[in-house]
Each structure stands twice: as structure tokens, then as C-alpha cells.
Amino acid sequence: MATSTPTSFSDYLKGMKRLVYGVILGFVALMVTLETSYSQNSQQGVVAFERGDFTVAYREFQALAKKGNANAQFNLGQMYRTGIGTSKNYKKAAVWYQKSATRGNSKALLSLGNMHNQGLGVIQDFKEAVKWFRRSAEIGNAGAQFNLGTMYKNGRGVSQDYEEAFNWYRRSAEQGDPDAQYHLALMYRSGEGVTQNSEAALKWYIKSAEQGNADAQYNLALMHRVGESVPQNDSQAVRWYRKSAEKGHEKAQVNLGVMYAKGKGVSQNNVFAHMWINIAASNGEITAVKNRGIIAKNMTSEQIAQAQKLAKECVNKKYTGC
């Protein structure tokens, strides 16, 4: 599944810690009804994790994993995959995911599919990835349903089948997965795997966009800009361009800049136009450099310097409140 790109390695680790932490909380709930020694150990692992003592947490979960607890085995796989509490080791991660997966843990089934899909710790094998994604998807894991839909859409490990892709995206989307909602909207909009339906596309774009999916926000902005399936509304286009731009979407950033330059849906302002387009250029948007040059022709050197200063400040603020 698609996820937001961290701006630094420390941000990446924070994200992975949150992921492991969420798993551990579920693990504690499952352990309540088991033997006291297990429950005590699981609590010790959680307490250690919460205080940032990942080495102790690793030791506690390793003990439980060796006794066959599927959730602890999955947690151990996560720690090996991320290098939290132990040295990063994809092969050991895959081993522990496998142990947990054979006991039916849906997250382990999904993670093992990801390992085979990416060739991490195992030989890359798309058919194996599909097998594990399917097992997880069939017991209701929304992430696995999304991944399985993507495998069908791209013909990876299975014959390309847009209808099957649509069906798995729909199941995932109905559980609230924003990436699946976005891809379901794309299929409704293009008519791939389903009868073309612009109203349904709009519905799923909105659901995904409201959950923060930058691509859905960008597409929703485009629909408002040209009046596709909605009344044409530049103010709404700016609103969704801004939300997407604040998440680092370079095309939204350049389009937001163009809206400022033209005074569409927002007060005309070349400084803000140059700022956003300059940011888009720094993020690799190929149309930004030309547009920046066009706007600069109508600016003073002082305005350009101000726009450059604002762009640096905006990047430092991770595009929020610019």
C-alpha cells in the first residue's frame, strides 16, 4: 500500500515505531485470557516499549514468540524488519512472519506477501506474494485486499484482470482504506473493470481525499477546476490543491502556484505563485521551471527574493501553513 514518504530517517523510524506499537496493543488484549506468566511477560514488553527500551521489549517478545505466540512472532518480525530493538535482518523477519502467518495472523500474512513481492529476506516471487496476500485478504485484512487488487491490476503473479482488481479494491475501500478508495475512483472514472461512472468516481475521490490521500485530493481539485461531475468552482479547486500540496504533491504545488498567478479561486499574488512553483521545481516537477520563469518576468527582484525566502520557510514547515 501506498504510504506518505518520511522527510528523514528519524521520521521513518517514528512511523515504524507507531506501527509496531499498534500491534503490541492488540497483542496485550489477546494475552489477557492466557497463562499469568505469558500475560506478565507481554505486559513487561509493552512497558519496555512505551519507555523506549526496545532491547528489553525485543527480549520479552522473543521469549513469547519461541513459545508459539503468533502475535509475538509477528512483532519480532517487525523488529527484525525495521531494526528496532535489534539489528535489521530481513531473513529473520521473513522467518518470524512465516511462523506467525502459519498460525493465521492476518498482518503477518500481509507482511510475508510484501517480503515476497519486494524480495526482502526471500527470493522475489510474485506468485508467492499473491498467495499470502490472498490468504490475508480472505480473512478481511484491508491492506492485503488493496495489495491483491494491485497485483491483479498490474498482472503481477496473476493474469491481469481489471474486474478482479476492482472487486478487491472495492472490498478494501469499503473498510475505509484511503488508497483503495482512490484506486476505486480511478477505475470508476476510466471504466476499467467496471462500467464508467463519474458520480461513483467522485464519491470515492471524496472519501479518499477526506482521509488525506494526496492523489485523491489532487484529482478532486482537477474535477472542481474544470467542472467534471461537480459545478465548476475555483475556490474548491484551490482548497483541494492546497491540501494536496501540503502533503508534498508536486503537481498540486505547481497548480496551486498557477492559481495564485492567475487569481483563480484566490487573490492574485505572484509572490505566493512563485513560492509554490519553486517548491514544486525543487521536488522534481518538470513543468515548474518553465512556469516559474514566466511568473518571474512579472516580478521585481525584491519580490523574487521574498518568494525564495518564503519557499525555504515553507519547506522547513513541511508545507503546512504556507
Q: How far is CA 146 from the centre of its chain?
A: 12
Least confident stretch, 4-8, 229-233, 274-278: 4-8
Which one, of 283, 285, 237, 226, lies nearest residue 264 by Cα? 237
**Structural domain containing residue 161:** 125-211
> Is residue 1, in this structure, part of any structural domain at all?
no
pLDDT in tens, 102-111: 999 999 999 9
Does one domain contain both 130 and 105? no
**One domain, residues 144 and 58:** no
- Asked whether residue 83 falls in the same domain as residue 159, the answer is no
- 34 shares a domain with 115: yes
Residue 42 lies in a domain: yes
Regarding whether 273 and 171 lie in a shared domain, the answer is no
Q: What is the Cβ-side half-sphere exposure of residue 238, based on CA atoms within 13 angstroms?
A: 18
Q: Do the domain assignments include residue 177?
A: yes
Same domain, residue pair 144 and 248: no
Q: Which grid cell is 239?
A: 482548497
Q: Domain ends where: 211, 242, 262? A: 211
Cβ neighbours for 170, distance < 8 A, ≥ 6 positions apart: 180, 184
206 and 293 housed in the same domain: no
**pTM above threshold 0.85:** no
111, 94: one domain: yes
Is residue 9 scored above 80 in pLDDT?
no
Would 221 be classed as within a structural domain?
Answer: no
Residues 151, 203 share a domain: yes
pLDDT in tens, 83-100: 989 999 999 999 999 999
Does residue 47 lie in a domain region?
A: yes
Angstrom distances, CA of residue 216 to CA of 5, 90, 100, 149 = 16, 33, 34, 18
Mean pLDDT of 4-32: 31
Asked if residue 66 and residue 40 are part of one domain, the reply reads yes
**Residue 52 domain-assigned (yes or no):** yes
Whether 247 maps to a domain, the answer reads yes
pLDDT of residue 40: 53
pLDDT tops 80 at residue 304: yes
Q: Does residue 49 contact residue 24 with C-beta atoms inside 8 Å?
A: yes
Residue 96 sits in a domain of what CATH number?
1.25.40.10
| Domains of the chain: total | 3
CA 249 to CA 227: how far, in whole Å?
A: 21
**Whether residues 243 and 311 fall in one domain:** yes
User: With DSSP H G I counted as helix, E B as strand and the rest as coil, what are the percentages for the chain, rounded to 5?
Assistant: 70, 0, 30
CA-closest candidate to residue 100, choices 124, 127, 81: 81
**88, 123, 158 — which closes off a domain?**
123
Arithmetic mean of pLDDT over the chain:
87
Looking up residue 267, the CATH number of its domain turns out to be 1.25.40
Tell me: the pLDDT tens digits for 22-43?
333 332 222 222 222 344 545 6
Q: Which grid coordinates belong to 161?
A: 484482470
Residues 104 and 117 in one domain: yes
Q: Are the C-beta atoms of 291 and 254 separated by less than 8 Å?
A: yes
Residue 187 lies in a domain: yes
| pLDDT tens-place string over residues 197-209 | 999 999 999 999 9
Choose the final residue of a domain: 74, 97, 123.
Answer: 123
